[in-house]
Amino acid sequence: MRQSELFTKTQKTLPKDEESKNAKLLLQAGFIHKEMAGVYSFLPLGRRVMENIMQIIREEMNALDGQEIFLTSLQDSAPWRASGRWSDEVVDVWFKTKLKNDTEIGLANTHEEPLTALMRNHIQSYRDLPVYVYQFQTKLRNELRAKSGIMRTREFIMKDLYSFCRTKEEHEQFYELAKQSYLKIFDRVGLGEQTYVTAASGGSFSKYSHEFQTVCEAGEDTIYIDEQQRTAVNKEIIDEPEYDKSKLKEAKAVEVGNIFTLGTKYSEALSLLYQDEQGKKHPVFMGSYGIGPARTMGTIAEVYADEKGLVWPEQVAPFLVHLIALPGVEAKADGLYDTLQKQGIEVLYDDRQHVQPGAKFADADLIGIPYRAVVSEQTVKQNSVEVKKRLEQNPQLIPWEQSYEFFKQHSFASRQGHRN
Amino acid sequence: MRQSELFTKTQKTLPKDEESKNAKLLLQAGFIHKEMAGVYSFLPLGRRVMENIMQIIREEMNALDGQEIFLTSLQDSAPWRASGRWSDEVVDVWFKTKLKNDTEIGLANTHEEPLTALMRNHIQSYRDLPVYVYQFQTKLRNELRAKSGIMRTREFIMKDLYSFCRTKEEHEQFYELAKQSYLKIFDRVGLGEQTYVTAASGGSFSKYSHEFQTVCEAGEDTIYIDEQQRTAVNKEIIDEPEYDKSKLKEAKAVEVGNIFTLGTKYSEALSLLYQDEQGKKHPVFMGSYGIGPARTMGTIAEVYADEKGLVWPEQVAPFLVHLIALPGVEAKADGLYDTLQKQGIEVLYDDRQHVQPGAKFADADLIGIPYRAVVSEQTVKQNSVEVKKRLEQNPQLIPWEQSYEFFKQHSFASRQGHRN
């Protein structure tokens, strides 16, 4: 895409109340826009990152035999009353509104109840199980405070997967597969090294659940890491007798995903039952598995950004190459842009005519695309293009004809299979 | 996909209050689920149709140089107060809710106001124009009644495009391109023949706007068609002096899209200004362009369904082929399924073991996939597969080795380029 046509500009002033590093940088670079505290819109660059993250997640959900659906934001109160979670005292983040006839309805803060009710139409027999259902849907949560940028917001898309199994044993097998799938997702988006499967409280469902915690100074959680096992324990349960704090390393971390054994809490409350081979009825054994793509994006921003701006891993970057044309050689740069486009390489091409080279370089660092490619009079003389990875100090000169192949290799290695 | 693994089942009983043909069939076939009146979730088959429709729209929006963004459902009241549309007496479909600090906020029924406010950060000069911005985002509208199935709901995804131009002339050029783009979209989703560009009232913005009306008995609108010109006039303005009712054909129709000249109403109210070459400030000239993918899907259901069930055009169908295995030749059918999958042909494979052939045929008719392919003892004897288009009476026998090529040709003709 030509940057002269991209409608967003990097911003010089920021909303006054913005505290978090991820939101400051993403606002400044024009990836997001702040609608109000804890509510952010996604602009073209930000939407592309979100789309890349969601596509990686979708591929891994499909690999788990997940079936994609799309539930609603408006929710009938009936299934929530049945599960005991309609009251604002039980769930303190409800947004509610009213139909014209004064009936109170809820705005989705999660979807266990409506989905469990829905599945009654489709699960009757042991032959209908197991099934795994997921969606990317907006959650609305009336958070008292929202101060972590796009990492904790009042409105966000969540990928939520739900599993429906016959027995606890069948559930546990899937739960283990889901855990591996999540590790693969965080690895693919570029957070593999910093992310730990973390034992956490199971809430009202079971003794423990698992969180995926990414080590990061801006994190709201504290975890204790066992580096050898690549696991961690959330502070909330570290005092349980089975953990030995002294052998673990304390760190701040962001919860980028979580997986829960729900058991039969919702299936019993909402009568989601199946008949076994003998015709006997049992409640379905459930689990839920969440990842917030925007929180993942915010965490990537927090983990990798430096003093100059954002730094995107290749797999999720809005473009692979940021091509910059310096004055006098625009036609040459145009040619390279066209060639790269034809090769299917995603390029943001800074063809802006009224912007100084220094400002172009500063914008490129702020936006954080993995490869910067500069075409200048000097490089043209040497029949080459100057390429620099975002975090490297020294650029390398790559001969003109090799540059397509260079980027194509990187493009195929990191990004194929999940881009449309 | 194997139908034995698809979690949805065709339904025998329907919600009692359902009146519309589209919702009845889509519910019965397991494409959607009714959460409450006017609020429907999309199950795997329905989501695939939605995705296909949205991908066609996305491709055409990108061809118009539209840049995709994603705004929010929660909306600050400030820009709405500035435009005079915050009051429930002005906009009678508002859903509103409250933050913890008791601040009233809106739930998006449309996005002109927040987007106009947002664009102030990115449009300052004539050099920044024109730009075109679009999204697929949920609209929430507190309709008094909802009785047209998925064609008029309280919650729906809308594709809304907004244009920002320097002058009325520049706007009119784009408006004409958008009109052609819309016709192409309705053509590609299979509604080209039945859809007319229809002159309608311009509301508070300008004298006229344009609707895209699809002739359909279930439509809420009445239009007057000029078949030669392929245009129509909405009943609401047919008595204007420039129209001659006697020469036009009356028909019921569904408004599947609309395009509006907004002019400077919002840019003036919200101070979205640009400086011209002389440094003089002007309000930006705007337009908006909407299509509801779910309404499009409902209209396709209404227009094409017969007494046996749904009928999907190839371009939007959830799968291209519905492969049915009859008893005794399952291994042979498995082989065909694997081969078709490998060729990239989208197949729903009815491999269910405890379902009678008659029930499989009835389900295939109800679900409405374009090609039914049956593998039976008889067809296997003849080294062939029995293929029937959904609306045809008589099947044809296609030799085994030619069947891949047969479906591949249809697959490439209708569906490539917009499937992932």
At residue B16, the pLDDT reads: 83
At residue B208, the pLDDT reads: 80
At residue B183, the pLDDT reads: 98
At residue B205, the pLDDT reads: 63
At residue A389, the pLDDT reads: 96
Instruction: Give the gap in angstroms from C-alpha B82 to the nearest C-alpha of chain A.
Output: 15
Per-residue pLDDT band for A418 (boundaries 50, 70, 90) equals very low
Q: Are A153 and A60 contained in the same domain?
A: yes
**Tens-place pLDDT, residues A63-85:** 999 999 999 999 999 999 999 99
CB B250 within 8 A of CB B228: no
**Tens-place pLDDT, residues A302-348:** 999 999 999 999 999 999 999 999 999 999 999 999 999 999 999 99
Q: Are A280 and A332 contained in the same domain?
A: no
In terms of residue numbers, what domain contains A369? 321-415
Residue B211 lies in a domain: yes
At residue B419, the pLDDT reads: 41
At residue B139, the pLDDT reads: 97
Assign residue A152 a region: left if phi > 0, alpha if psi is -120 to 50, beta otherwise? Answer: beta
Q: Are A283 and A337 contained in the same domain?
A: no
Answer whether residue A417 shows pLDDT above 70: no
Asked if residue A15 has a cis previous peptide bond (ω within 30° of 0), the answer is no
Answer whether residue A30 shows pLDDT above 60: yes
Q: Are B267 and B339 contained in the same domain?
A: no
Question: What tokens does A134 get?
Answer: 């997921």
Answer whether residue A203 shows pLDDT above 60: yes
Interface of B with A in 149-188 (CB under 8 A): 154-155
Dist CA B214 CA B273 (whole Å): 37
Question: What tokens does A406 get?
Answer: 């260079």
Q: Are B58 and B172 contained in the same domain?
A: yes
In this structure, what is the dihedral angle of CA atoms B185, B186, B188, B192, given to the nearest 10 degrees? -140
Answer whether residue A157 shows pLDDT above 70: yes
**Tens-place pLDDT, residues B396-412:** 999 998 999 999 888 76
What angle is formed at CA A43 by the lines to CA A37 and CA A46, rounded to 5 degrees?
A: 90
Dist CA A217 CA A301 (whole Å): 12
For chain B, what is the domain count? 2
Q: Are A385 and A299 contained in the same domain?
A: no
Do A127 and B97 count as a contact with CB atoms less than 8 A apart?
no
Domain stop point among A304, A335, A363: A304
Question: What tokens does A115 get?
Answer: 């989905």
Do B70 and A76 count as a contact with CB atoms less than 8 A apart?
no
| Interaxial angle between packed helices B21-28 and B293-304, expressed in degrees from 0 to 180 and rounded to the nearest 10 | 90
A8 touches chain B (CB under 8 A): yes
Residue A309 lies in a domain: no
B311: closest CA among B2, B57, B302? Answer: B302
Q: In the predicted model, what is the mean pLDDT of chain A?
A: 95
Average pLDDT over residues B230-247: 93
Q: How far is CA B159 from CA A247, B81, B134, in A?
A: 54, 24, 7
Dist CA B207 CA B212 (whole Å): 17
Which residues fall within 8 angstroms of residue A134, CB to CB, at 6 or more apart? A61, A66, A67, A68, A69, A159, A160, A161, A162, A289
Per-residue pLDDT band for A408 (boundaries 50, 70, 90) equals confident
Instruction: Give the gap in angstroms from C-alpha A278 to the nearest C-alpha of chain B.
Output: 17
Answer whether residue A416 shows pLDDT above 90: no
- CATH number at B358 reads 3.40.50.800
Dist CA A255 CA B324 (whole Å): 45
Dist CA B358 CA B326 (whole Å): 10
Residue B13 or residue B223, greater confidence: B223
Answer whether residue A241 shows pLDDT above 80: yes
* Residues of chain A positioned with their CB less than 8 A from the CB of B5: 65, 131
At residue A306, the pLDDT reads: 97
Domain stop point among A272, A304, A336: A304
Q: What is the CA radius of gyration of chain A?
A: 24
* Residues of chain B positioned with their CB less than 8 A from the CB of A6: 67
**Tens-place pLDDT, residues A42-61:** 999 999 999 999 999 999 99
State how beta strands A67-68 and A131-140 pair: parallel
Question: What tokens does A289 get?
Answer: 């598995």
What angle is formed at CA A338 by the lines to CA A337 and CA A339, rounded to 5 degrees?
A: 90
- CATH number at B243 reads 3.30.930.10
Residue B219 lies in a domain: yes
Dist CA B375 CA B9 (whole Å): 22
Per-residue pLDDT band for B418 (boundaries 50, 70, 90) equals very low
Answer whether residue B315 shows pLDDT above 80: yes
At residue B414, the pLDDT reads: 66
Do B122 and A7 count as a contact with CB atoms less than 8 A apart?
yes
Dist CA B378 CA A119 (whole Å): 38
A53: closest CA among A198, A215, A256, A195? Answer: A256
Q: Are A264 and A342 contained in the same domain?
A: no
Domain stop point among B304, B334, B365: B304
CB B97 within 8 A of CB A96: yes
Q: Are B272 and B328 contained in the same domain?
A: no
Choose from B13, B32, B39, B40 for mutation: most chain A CBs within 10 A.
B39
* Residues of chain A positioned with their CB less than 8 A from the CB of B133: 7
At residue A204, the pLDDT reads: 63
State the SS3 of chain A: CECCCCCCCCCCCCCCCCCCHHHHHHHHCCCEEEEECCEEEECHHHHHHHHHHHHHHHHHHHHCCCEECECCCEECCHHHHHHCCCCCCCCCCCEEEECCCCCEEEECCCCHHHHHHHHCCCCCEHHHCCEEEEEEEEEECCCCCCCCHHHCCCEEEEEEEEEEECCHHHHHHHHHHHHHHHHHHHHHCCCCCCEEEEEEECCCCCCEEEEEEEECCCCCEEEEEECCCCEEEEHHHCCCCCCCHHHCEEEEEEEEEEEEEEECHHHHHCCCEEECCCCCEEECEEEEEEECHHHHHHHHHHHHCECCECCCCCCCCCCCEEEEECCCCHHHHHHHHHHHHHCCCCEEEECCCCCCHHHHHHHHHHHCCCEEEEECHHHHHCCEEEEEECCCCCCEEEEHHHHHHHHHHHHHHHHCCCCC
At residue B114, the pLDDT reads: 98
Average pLDDT over residues B41-47: 98
What are phi and psi for residue A358, nearest 5 degrees?
-60, -40
Task: For CA atoms B85, B164, B69, A218, give the dihedral sign.
Answer: negative
Asked if residue A44 has a cis previous peptide bond (ω within 30° of 0), the answer is no
Instruction: Give the gap in angstroms from C-alpha B35 to the nearest C-alpha of chain A.
Output: 7
Average pLDDT over residues B172-185: 97
Average pLDDT over residues B333-351: 95
Question: What tokens does A172 get?
Answer: 């546990």
* Residues of chain A positioned with their CB less than 8 A from the CB of B109: none
Answer whether residue B105 shows pLDDT above 70: yes
* Residues of chain B positioned with their CB less than 8 A from the CB of A277: none
Question: What tokens does A390 get?
Answer: 């975002």
A120 touches chain B (CB under 8 A): no
Do A121 and B36 count as a contact with CB atoms less than 8 A apart?
no
Do B7 and A128 count as a contact with CB atoms less than 8 A apart?
yes
Find the residue in B nearest to A144 (Cα): B100
3-state secondary structure of B53: helix
Residue A13 lies in a domain: no
Question: What tokens does B243 get?
Answer: 């129209």
* Residues of chain B positioned with their CB less than 8 A from the CB of A138: 73, 138
Distance in Å from the first CA to the final CA of chain A? 15
Interface of B with A in 41-80 (CB under 8 A): 41-44, 47, 50, 65, 67-76
Q: Are A298 and A376 contained in the same domain?
A: no
Instruction: Give the gap in angstroms from C-alpha B43 to the nearest C-alpha of chain A.
Output: 5
Query: For the stretch A240-275, what's the b/e string if a residue is b when 16 or more beta carbons lie within 10 angstroms of its beta carbon?
Result: eeeeeeeebeebebbbbbbbbbbbbbbbebbebbbe
CB B267 within 8 A of CB B31: no
Q: In the predicted model, what is the mean pLDDT of chain B?
A: 95
Dist CA A365 CA B251 (whole Å): 58
**Tens-place pLDDT, residues A93-152:** 999 999 999 999 999 999 999 999 999 999 999 999 999 999 999 999 999 988 889 999
Average pLDDT over residues A253-264: 96
Answer whether residue B61 shows pLDDT above 70: yes
* Residues of chain A positioned with their CB less than 8 A from the CB of B144: 100
Q: Are B298 and B333 contained in the same domain?
A: no
CB A367 within 8 A of CB A43: no
Q: Are B262 and B130 contained in the same domain?
A: yes
Residue A325 lies in a domain: yes
| Complex ipTM | 0.96
* Residues of chain B positioned with their CB less than 8 A from the CB of A127: 354
Residue A396 lies in a domain: yes
Residue B172 lies in a domain: yes
Residue A203 or residue B289, greater confidence: B289
B137 touches chain A (CB under 8 A): no
A128 touches chain B (CB under 8 A): yes
**Tens-place pLDDT, residues B265-311:** 999 999 999 999 999 999 999 999 999 999 999 999 999 999 999 99
Q: Are A25 and A135 contained in the same domain?
A: yes
**Tens-place pLDDT, residues B111-131:** 999 999 999 999 999 999 999
Residue B134 lies in a domain: yes
